[in-house]
Amino acid sequence: MAHGNAALTPRQRLRLARAVVDDGWTVAAAADYFRVSWPTAAKWSRRYLELGEAGMADRSSRPLSSPNRTRPDVVRRIVQLRIRKRLGPVQIAGMVGMPASTVHAVLVRCRLNRLSHVDVKTGEPARRYEHDRPGSLIHVDVKKLGNIPDGGGWRYVGRQQGRRNRRQTPGLARNKYRHELLRHAFVHTVIDDHSRVAYAEIHDDETAATATAVLRRATSWFAARGVTVERVLSDNGPAYRSHLWRDTCRELAIVPKHTRPYRPQTNGKIERFHRTLADGWAYGRHYRSERARRDALPAWLHLYNHHRPHTATGKQPPITRLNNLPGQY
């Protein structure tokens, strides 16, 4: 392949070949003038005679035949084991009787070397999509979290101390087995499909009234940033199937969409955001009370939207995809 400092780029090859073929130079004279070997000068002159100017491009170094290449039936067997059972190269190698390095090379050639390229449910290659502008589609969902007892939860203080903290927290309830329970926090999340800009609120329930109120405030929040929401995608939870949700979407001129039942991958962007939310905020550090964790959410959301690099947006913060922010200019 030609590079910036190559002795003969395609343009130089053409000059050398024309000097020999068209101008009558000898191969030796052309080789000495262009500082290359005699066989190299002869090769490009011959290609110019056979193919003309098109022959000056680099050819593939791939051999005409590969007798030792993995047989097609073995390749199909490797691909089937990868897709259906999601096995790694070492496990597949033991089943087909060949080196793991060869299996890995086959998976790379078939673009199945990463399990993230394969859908977990169906085993088919993952299909990804992204709307072309902010507001064209937003995703909504609810993340349910257990409240943190006063003094800290078991993740940081241990299970024994966590049980004591839970018993000493006011407002404790009990289930039918007489086990102490704390109430739950329901994080209503909204994320823009194109920009990945996120909006979230914490409530004590996931009813239709709460979900529609969050949608109203979220659309106003996006509108203040120059984004008009056109569609909303949700799962098939009771709140999103209610008449109140339907009427609210109609009032806001938003088209409601729902995922296929038992198919959370369709709403995968917000599911992945929930994982980021849990790692970065919900369980990211030791909170000594539920109030402390809830108070930390706005600051974390600002970090996520304005400062945290996102791989889906070219390793830039999501807010950089909103090119119509008020006051930007």
Closest to 298 measured CA to CA, from 221, 197, 214, 201:
201
d(CA 53, CA 30): 17
| C-beta separation of 214 from 176 below 8 A | no
Q: What is the pLDDT of residue 277?
A: 94
CATH class of the domain comprising 138-147+183-321: alpha beta
Q: What is the pLDDT of residue 77?
A: 93
Residues 6+ apart with CB under 8 A from 129: none
Q: Is beta strand 255-258 parallel, antiparallel or unpaired with respect to 231-234?
A: parallel
**Domain map (residue ranges) of the chain:** 10-56, 82-125, 138-147+183-321
Q: What is the pLDDT of residue 180?
A: 45
Q: What is the pLDDT of residue 29?
A: 94
pTM above 0.75, yes or no: no
Q: What is the pLDDT of residue 273?
A: 94
Residues 6+ apart with CB under 8 A from 186: 142, 143, 144, 145, 202, 203, 204, 205, 206, 210
Q: What is the pLDDT of residue 62?
A: 80
Q: What is the pLDDT of residue 132?
A: 86
In order along its 329 residues, the chain shows pLDDT tens digits of: 455 556 788 888 999 999 999 999 999 999 999 999 999 999 999 999 999 888 888 888 888 888 888 999 999 999 988 888 878 898 899 889 999 999 999 999 988 887 766 666 555 555 677 888 899 999 999 999 988 787 777 777 777 777 777 777 766 555 444 444 467 889 999 999 999 999 999 998 999 999 999 999 999 999 999 899 999 999 999 999 999 999 999 999 999 999 988 777 788 899 999 999 998 998 888 888 888 999 999 999 999 999 988 888 888 899 998 866 555 54
Q: What is the pLDDT of residue 155?
A: 72
| C-beta separation of 7 from 36 below 8 A | yes
Q: What is the pLDDT of residue 173?
A: 52
Q: What is the pLDDT of residue 160?
A: 77
Counting Cα atoms < 13 Å in the Cβ hemisphere of 328 gives 11
